[in-house]
Structure 1
Amino acid sequence: MAAGYESAGFKTGDSASVTYRAGIIVGKFSPLHLGHRYLIDTAMAACEKLVIISYAKPEYSEYKASTRTQWLQSLYPQATSLVVDDAWFEARAKDGIVDLFSCVPHDDEPDDIHRRFTAWLCRDVLGETCDAVFTSEDYGDGFAAVLSEEFAQSVVHVCVDKARSTVPISATRIRDDKALRARYLPSVVRASFVKKIVFFGAESTGKTTICRELSRQYKEPLVEEYGRELWIEKDGELDFDDLLKIGVTQIAWEREAAMQAREYLFCDTSPLTTEFYSDALFGKVDPKLNSLALVHDYDLCFLCMPDIPFVQDGERQDEAFRARQHQWYLDQLQQREIDYIPLSGDLRKRIAVVKATLKNHS
């Protein structure tokens, strides 16, 4: 069980013995919260295998199908999970697949349509049937009856914590009050809503100092530069393959740190910066590193301007190199159509601009 679940103070109790061959759970998971985890964990303990299906129409903009897929695969890789939306149907139609359903049913459509839609996904798409359906709702008995008909076998309804006394939360409450995310979302889910702030800047433009100060003031995680750490470890003798390692490790550090953040994650660099150094040091860039640099998922980008005195710390090059690096950033950000906020003036002014921007985007 994920640490984020236990640390919130909610426990599943004693593990149940395996009772069912296969179970099924259906939900919007918008977002997937600790109440859902309690339901799924209970079903996992009682079943040899578990099918988890998620869909919603209309969907919530913050909880897209791709995001929910990532949550379920991260938390329950041992389960068979399927998240569908209308785009999923469109992709199947383009592949020439003729389905019984042509789109996701609207939330307001009759219960019978939703139940038969779920049965079709389970049986015809996933190739599974089940003998138990797990819910925390009144509709569970009727759902089990339809599944029994569709699967031509007995399906029982297992009702779990209907009163929500074990984990007193609902997705509706979390959507209405985002402050509840910190307590009731698993860390991997909560990380999806953390604002990732990245800083670009040539050498000696205050980038690292700004990041560290913001991390201190906001009491939020800082993702340091792995490249600098490796550079020091190898006495400045990096190999070409090290640059891809730096980019991959940097992303891994970001993902890990995001699960510890509450609202913000401050990133002192990104694979885009690593791409620059790869080209500057070796005159080439690994295609895999370039792909990492092309994936842009930061919420805010700041570019530190080279309008403060250059300070040589023994590892930097010179002002000409700083000017070259700064121009490269300007060119790349424009080419990639990445919006950024310039930071000029002394460190105090730069930090003030960042804080004002964060306040305006809260």
Structure 2
Amino acid sequence: MKRFAHGLVLGRFYPPHAGHHHLVRTAQDRCERLTVLVRAASAESVPLADRVAWMREVHPDVTVAGAVDDTRTDLRDPAVRDAHMALFTAAVPEPVDAVFTSEPYGDELARRLGAEPVAVDPDRTVFPVSGTAVRADPAGYWDFLEPPVRAALARRVVVLGAESTGTTTLARALAAQYRRRGGVWALTGYVAEYGREFREQKPAAPRARWPRAQREDAAFSTDDFPLMAEARNAREEAAARTGSPVLVCDTDSFAATVRDERYAGGGNPLAERTADRPAPHLWLLTDHEGVAFEDDGLRHSQEPRPLMTDRLRAELTRTGRNFIEVTGSRQQRLATAVEAVDALLARGWHFADPLPERR
């Protein structure tokens, strides 16, 4: 099989899927060097930088470049083709001797570059998937997506509330409910609350100096909350990369900022910036009414629960987060949560349409 010195793969990768990766790997096997050019229109809803980062992660031994391409595609218009070629050659100025594509434009692009066209699975028989199909139904094509794309597309659901209001019980039950649906949903992830783990480990440092140290000797400080939020975000991201289209989280870094205010006086700007990362898509606020307070040795008293519920509700409202409150029995809370998550999924992902193409 003929080998090439420098190959080119061109695409929108909106978003990248298994068919794209098959194309790149096939080209890489036949080239001494391969460049992948990601082209994205400004109107599209996945930023160029994200697509470039995803392709670089999945293909670390390939050169990945990016270019904003707001010129429509029209294979019948020489002026349009000239405009595209000017953009392509500016992004990839080195000579290319092979163009690998699964698209009809491959022959013309190769001719203009003085390269050989190589068609790879143009009928999509190896991987029956397309960017159009993924955008229309990400959950239906979840198995064709790599971890960084899954993490970006997963619908993240956060269960939060005051202490001892059933947040952990509901979060675990919600994740289990989706796993029971089977198929891709069997991968539904659950991210446990990190604050409890952090709090259990907190006395370790004082005990290194004073073996008789107790939990009260290692009280929370405002500097602890950014650390908890960052660790929490990292665990959430890791779970989203390997899970289903839904990720269920027991609290999040936003809740940590409210607890920072409650337990340490608040106002730590690093904690607030950490909470302002790309946000989850739905919050479920557990009401304290009807839930008996359980003192497990780590919790504070039950008196602040109404104040914390009110504060969380106020901050969710003030910051414009999409949330609902869940009340009633465990069964009622779970039913309400499932209904809300199903509604979130039914609304879809809403990708902006790519620029129209004329062939």
Q: Structure 2-normalised TM-score?
A: 0.78
* TM superposition shift of 1:143: 0.9
The 8 Å contact of residues 142 and 245 in structure 2, kept in 1 or not, is answered as: no
Cα 1:50–1:248 shift into 2, 3 Å: farther
- Equivalent in the alignment of 1:206: 166
- Equivalent in the alignment of 2:38: 54
* SS of the residue 1:166 aligns to: coil
Question: What does residue range 1-362 of structure 1 map to in structure 2 within 5 Å?
Answer: 19-55=3-39, 61=45, 63=46, 65=48, 67-85=50-68, 104-108=70-74, 110=76, 112=78, 115-125=81-91, 127-148=93-114, 155-175=115-135, 178=138, 180-219=140-179, 220-235=188-203, 236=215, 237=218, 240-308=222-290, 309-361=292-344, 362=346
* SS of the residue 2:9 aligns to: strand
Further displaced range: 210-219 or 175-184: 175-184
* TM superposition shift of 1:65: 3.8
* TM superposition shift of 1:39: 0.8
Alpha-carbon distance in 1 for matches of 2:294, 2:267? 28
- Equivalent in the alignment of 1:151: none
Cα 1:331–1:178 shift into 2, 3 Å: closer
Alpha-carbon distance in 1 for matches of 2:160, 2:117? 54
The 8 Å contact of residues 67 and 91 in structure 2, kept in 1 or not, is answered as: no
* SS of the residue 1:26 aligns to: strand
Cα 1:173–1:30 shift into 2, 3 Å: same
Letter in 2 for 1:262: S
Alpha-carbon distance in 2 for matches of 1:45, 1:271? 43
* TM superposition shift of 1:114: 5.8
The 8 Å contact of residues 181 and 190 in structure 1, kept in 2 or not, is answered as: no
The 8 Å contact of residues 210 and 347 in structure 1, kept in 2 or not, is answered as: yes
Q: State the percentage of identical aligned residues.
A: 30
Query: Using CA pairs below 8 Å that are at least 6 residues apart, which structure has the higher relative contact order?
Result: 2
The 8 Å contact of residues 191 and 248 in structure 2, kept in 1 or not, is answered as: yes
For each residue in 1:3-27, what CA deviation from the matched residue of structure 2 results, as whole angstroms up to 9, or x when unmatched?
A: xxxxxxxxxxxxx99x544332111
The 8 Å contact of residues 132 and 158 in structure 1, kept in 2 or not, is answered as: yes
Alpha-carbon distance in 1 for matches of 2:113, 2:43? 25
For each residue in 1:286-342, what CA deviation from the matched residue of structure 2 results, as whole angstroms up to 9, or x when unmatched?
A: 433211212342111111122123222221111233233223212322221223101
Structure 2 unaligned residues grouped into runs of 5+? 180-187, 204-214, 347-359
The 8 Å contact of residues 28 and 34 in structure 2, kept in 1 or not, is answered as: yes
Cα 1:180–1:303 shift into 2, 3 Å: closer
* SS of the residue 2:71 aligns to: coil
- Equivalent in the alignment of 2:185: none
* TM superposition shift of 1:126: 5.6
* TM superposition shift of 1:272: 1.2
Q: CA RMSD in A?
A: 2.9
Cα 1:22–1:227 shift into 2, 3 Å: farther
Structure 1 unaligned residues grouped into runs of 5+? 1-15, 86-102, 149-154
The 8 Å contact of residues 275 and 290 in structure 1, kept in 2 or not, is answered as: yes
Letter in 1 for 2:150: R
The 8 Å contact of residues 197 and 301 in structure 1, kept in 2 or not, is answered as: yes
